[in-house]
C-alpha cells in the first residue's frame, strides 16, 4: 500500500495582483479606443512632390526600383515599400537621406534643403491620402 504524500496547496491570487491586471487591461483598452480618435494628418504636397521627383525612381513599388528591390531582398515585402511605414522616424529618414545607406547615395542640402527634407520625412511616414489611393493620375503632381 502506497502513501500519497503530495500536498496540494491552492492559494488565491493576492488582491493586489488582480487589481493590477484589471487596471492594466483597462488602460490598454482605452488606449486602443483613443488610437482611432487621432486627428487626421494634413496633406503634405511639398513632401509628396519631393518624393515624386527625387525618391520614386528607386523607392517606387515593384521591380525596376532598386531601393524597393533591395529592401524586399533584405527586409521582406512588408518593409520594401517605405511610404507609410510605422517603424521609421523622421530623424532616421533625414539621417539616411543626408548620409546615404549602402547603395543609396547621400543628398546634400544643395539638392534637398533642410525644410524640404523635413517635409519629405513627414510624407514618407504619413503619405497623403491620395498617394495611398489606387492608380491616380500622376500628371496632376507638379
Residue of higher predicted confidence among 2 and 126: 126
Q: What letter does residue 102 receive in the DSSP assignment?
A: T
**Domain ranges within the chain, ordered by starting residue:** 45-134
Mean pLDDT of the chain: 77
CA 129, chain centre distance (Å) = 15
User: Topology of domain 45-134, per CATH?
Assistant: Cytochrome Bc1 Complex; Chain D, domain 2 (1.10.760)
Return all residues near 81 (Cβ < 8 A) that are at least 6 apart.
59, 61, 68, 71
The string of pLDDT tens digits covering residues 47-95 is 999 999 999 999 999 999 999 999 999 999 999 999 999 899 999 999 9
pLDDT range class, residue 103, cuts 50, 70, 90: confident
Residue whose cell numbers read 531601393: 67
> With left for phi above 0 and alpha for psi between -120 and 50, is residue 100 left, alpha or beta?
left
The mean pLDDT value for 16-42 works out to: 51
pLDDT at residue 30 in the model: 45
The rounded distance, in Å, linking the Cα atoms of 126 and 30 is 24
pLDDT value at residue 122 = 94
> With 0-12 CB in 10 A as exposed, 13-18 as middle and 19+ as buried, what is 125?
buried
pLDDT tops 50 at residue 138: no
Ordered DSSP codes for 45-89: HHHHHHIIIIIHHHHSSSTT-HHHHHHHHHH-GGGT--TT-TT--
Question: What's the pLDDT score for residue 97?
Answer: 97
Amino acid at each position: 500500500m502506497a502513501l500519497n504524500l503530495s500536498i496540494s496547496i491552492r492559494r488565491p491570487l493576492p488582491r493586489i495582483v488582480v487589481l493590477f491586471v484589471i487596471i492594466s487591461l483597462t488602460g490598454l483598452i482605452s488606449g486602443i479606443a483613443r488610437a482611432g480618435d487621432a486627428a487626421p494628418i494634413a496633406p503634405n504636397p511639398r513632401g509628396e512632390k519631393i518624393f515624386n521627383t527625387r525618391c520614386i525612381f528607386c523607392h517606387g513599388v515593384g521591380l525596376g526600383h532598386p531601393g524597393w528591390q533591395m529592401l524586399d531582398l533584405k527586409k521582406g515585402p512588408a518593409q520594401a515599400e517605405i511610404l507609410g511605414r510605422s517603424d521609421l522616424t523622421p530623424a532616421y529618414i533625414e539621417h539616411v537621406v543626408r548620409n546615404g545607406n549602402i547603395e543609396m547615395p547621400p543628398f546634400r542640402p544643395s539638392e534637398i534643403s533642410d525644410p524640404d527634407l523635413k517635409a519629405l520625412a513627414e510624407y514618407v511616414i504619413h503619405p497623403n491620402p491620395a498617394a495611398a489611393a489606387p492608380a491616380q493620375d500622376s500628371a496632376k503632381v507638379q
